Amino acid sequence: MKSRIVVWLFTTAGILALGLGIAGIFLPLLPTTPFVLLASACFIKSNPSLHRWLIAHPVFGPLLENWQERRAISSQVRLRGSVAMIVTFSFSIWMVPYFKVKIGLLLFFIMIFIIFRRIPVYDPVAKSEENH
């Protein structure tokens, strides 16, 4: 049996992650996908009913299904994520006054950008509404 504290911690972390994911829909530099994936993982461990709700959600459900079934993201997610990384790292590198930190940021950016771009892309041919 799971400890109540562990369940509470995972549920709280999932709710916070989901809140950040929702904010990411409206804030261009805050990524939605990683936070929704984190929320899903937390809810799997703590609250199956919240996980089922998240999977059935019209906005987040397809994103989670795509990741769970194919370990892939949509081309739109890839584009938004790439642009957000380029903008935020460029701004950070520009703002930092120390050359060694700039080099460190640049190397870190290159590493995570390559990892991110290697995630497979899956876009369904037609949305379900278009098939009717």
**37-72 pLDDT, tens digit each:** 999 999 999 999 999 999 999 989 988 988 889 999
Average pLDDT, the chain: 88
Name the residue with tokens 């950070």. Answer: 92
pLDDT of residue 132 exceeding 50: no
Question: How remote is the C-alpha of 6 from its chain's centroid?
Answer: 23
Name the residue with tokens 């261009």. Answer: 28
Ranges 30-34, 57-61, 89-93, 107-111: which has the least confidence? 30-34
Phi and psi (nearest 5°) for 116?
-65, -45
What is the pLDDT at residue 127?
A: 56
What is the C-alpha end-to-end distance of the chain, expressed in Å?
A: 46
pLDDT of residue 123 exceeding 90: no
pLDDT band of residue 33 (cuts 50, 70, 90) is: confident
